Amino acid sequence: MRFILTLTLLVAPLLAQTAHHLKASAQTVVVGYYDASTPPALRVKSGDIVEMDTLGVTTPEGLRRVGMRDDQMQPSLLEVAAANQGKRGHYLTGPVYVDGAEPGDVLEVQIRKVTLAVPYAVNGMGQNGVLADQFAQGGSRLISLDVKRNVAHFAPGVDVPLQPFFGSMGVAPPESAGRVSSTPPGTHAGNLDNRWLVAGTTLYIPVHARGALFQAGDGHARQGDGEVDQTGLETSLTGEFRLIVRKDMKLTWPRAETPTHWITMGLDPDLNKAVRLATEEAVDFLTTQKGLSRADAYMLISVAIDLHITELVDVTKGVHAMIPKDLFKK
C-alpha cells in the first residue's frame, strides 16, 4: 500500500479538482438501497471533490417521539421524508457517477472533511441489538452535541468525545444483483459502520457498475466498535470527498488507510467467517504490498495486528484488522 499511496500522490496533482456541492433533497436522496439502475444525482470526473449534505437515519416521526418539534428539524429531512412516505432505511445522498469508473476498478474515496450538520443526535435500541431480548421495550434518546467542546452530553457527568464518520459509504452492486438493502454491508462497502473512517482516512471500494455510483449517509457523531444496541449517535453530517478512479488497483473487499494504519475488512453473517475474511485480506495485503511470505504474514498478524469487531447488528457482521504502519521501515 505504501507504493500505491506514493503513486496516488504523484498522480493526484494531474487530476481534475473541480468542486461540487450535492445538497440533500427529494431529488438527490434514496431511501434504503444501493442499485446500479439508480439515476445519478451528480456526474463528476476522477479527482473531483464533492461536498455532500446527508441526513441521519432518524425519521421526523422518530424525532417527534423524543421531543423535537418540526421547526427544529432540517427542512431537507422533512422534504425527503414527505416524498418517501412508507419507505424505511438509510437516507443516502447520491449516487455520484464518476467518469471512467468501470467494473474491476477501485474507487478511492478520500474523506477530506466530516462536519456536524445539526447539534443533536439520537440513539435508539433496535430489534437487532445484541441484548434485544433484554430490552424488548426498545427506546430512543435525544442527545445534545456540544460542537465547541466536541462532546456529546450523554448523561449527567457523562460526556462522550465526538468522532464523526459516515456509517454508510458505498458504490452500486453489480447490475445483476438488482436493488440491495442498505442495511447489510458487502463488497460494495455500504453500511460498514467502521468508526475509523473519519476525516483524513481513505476508503478503497471495488467498483461493480459503470460510474461506480457512490452514495453516503448514516452519519454518526460517535460509535463504539460493535454498535451493540443497533445505533450510534445517529445524526446528519456534511462530508467532503475526493473521488479517484484507480485502474492500477484490484480488490475483492473494501480496504482503508488512516494516517497510522492500513485496514482490511471481513464481512459475513457468520462472525467466525468475517474474522477469517479479515485475516485473509490482511495476509493478502502483507504479501502483495509489503513483500512478506504468507507464513510470515500470518505470524505477524498474530503477534502485532489487532482485529476489531466492526459491528454486529446489520445482519452481516463486520471485522476489521488494524495494521500499524510503524511496523515497517519503508
pLDDT above 70: residue 6: no
Find residue 19's DSSP bridge partners.
49
What pLDDT sits at residue 86? 87
Give the amino acid at 283. Answer: V
What average pLDDT does range 210-216 have in this prediction? Answer: 98
pLDDT above 80: residue 16: no
What pLDDT sits at residue 305? 98
Mean pLDDT of the chain: 95
pLDDT above 60: residue 273: yes
pLDDT above 70: residue 5: no
What pLDDT sits at residue 14? 53
Give backbone dihedrals phi and psi of 326, rounded to 5 degrees, phi first: -75, 0
Could you tell me if 212 and 107 are in contact, meaning their C-beta atoms sit under 8 angstroms apart?
A: yes
What average pLDDT does range 257-274 have in this prediction? Answer: 98
pLDDT interval class at 15 (50, 70, 90): low
pLDDT above 50: residue 283: yes
What pLDDT sits at residue 330? 74
pLDDT above 80: residue 11: no
Could you tell me if 280 and 226 are in contact, meaning their C-beta atoms sit under 8 angstroms apart?
A: no
Q: What percent of the chain has pLDDT over 90?
A: 94
Q: Which of 307, 316, 260, 303 is nearest to 282 (CA)?
A: 307
What average pLDDT does range 272-284 have in this prediction? Answer: 98
What average pLDDT does range 157-174 have in this prediction? Answer: 98
pLDDT interval class at 219 (50, 70, 90): very high
pLDDT interval class at 17 (50, 70, 90): confident
How far apart CA 287 and CA 290 sit, in angstroms, is 6
* More confident call, 252 vs 6: 252
Give backbone dihedrals phi and psi of 125, rounded to 5 degrees, phi first: -75, 130
How far apart CA 205 and CA 224 sit, in angstroms, is 23
pLDDT single digits (tens) 290-329:
999 999 999 999 999 999 999 999 999 999 999 999 999 8
Lowest-pLDDT range, 13-17, 207-211, 312-316? Answer: 13-17
What average pLDDT does range 84-98 have in this prediction? Answer: 96
Work out the burial of residue 71: count CB atoms within 10 Å of its CB; fewer than 13 is exposed, 13-18 middle, 19 or more buried. Answer: exposed
What pLDDT sits at residue 13? 47
What average pLDDT does range 24-45 have in this prediction? Answer: 98
Give the amino acid at 222. Answer: R
What average pLDDT does range 255-274 have in this prediction? Answer: 98
- SS3 of the chain: CHHHHHHHHHHHHHCCCCEEEECCCCCCEEECEECCCCCCCEEECCCCEEEEECCCCCCHHHHHHCCCCHHHCCHHHHHHHHHCCCCCCCEEEEEEEECCCCCCCEEEEEEEEEEECCCEEEEEECCCCCCCCCCCCCEEEEEEEECCCCEEEEECCEEEECCCEEEEEECCCCHHHCCEECCCCECCEECCCCCCCCCCCEEEEECCCCCEEEEEEEEECCCCCECCCCCCCECCEEEEEEEEEECCCCCCCCEEECCCEEEEEEEECCHHHHHHHHHHHHHHHHHHCCCCCHHHHHHHHHHHCEEEEEECCCCCEEEEEEEEHHHCCC
Could you tell me if 216 and 54 are in contact, meaning their C-beta atoms sit under 8 angstroms apart?
A: yes
What pLDDT sits at residue 153? 97
pLDDT single digits (tens) 52-76:
999 999 999 999 999 999 999 999 9
The three cell numbers locating residue 18: 473541480
For the chain, how far is it from start to end, CA to CA, in angstroms? Answer: 11
Q: What is the pTM of this model?
A: 0.94
Q: Which domains does the chain have, with CATH numbers?
A: 17-253 (2.60.120.580), 261-327 (3.10.28.20)
Q: What percent of the chain has pLDDT over 70?
A: 95
pLDDT above 60: residue 139: yes
pLDDT above 90: residue 40: yes
The three cell numbers locating residue 93: 445522498
What average pLDDT does range 116-127 have in this prediction? Answer: 97
What Rg value do the Cα atoms of the chain yield, rounded?
A: 19
What pLDDT sits at residue 195? 98
pLDDT interval class at 221 (50, 70, 90): very high
How far apart CA 74 and CA 256 sit, in angstroms, is 31
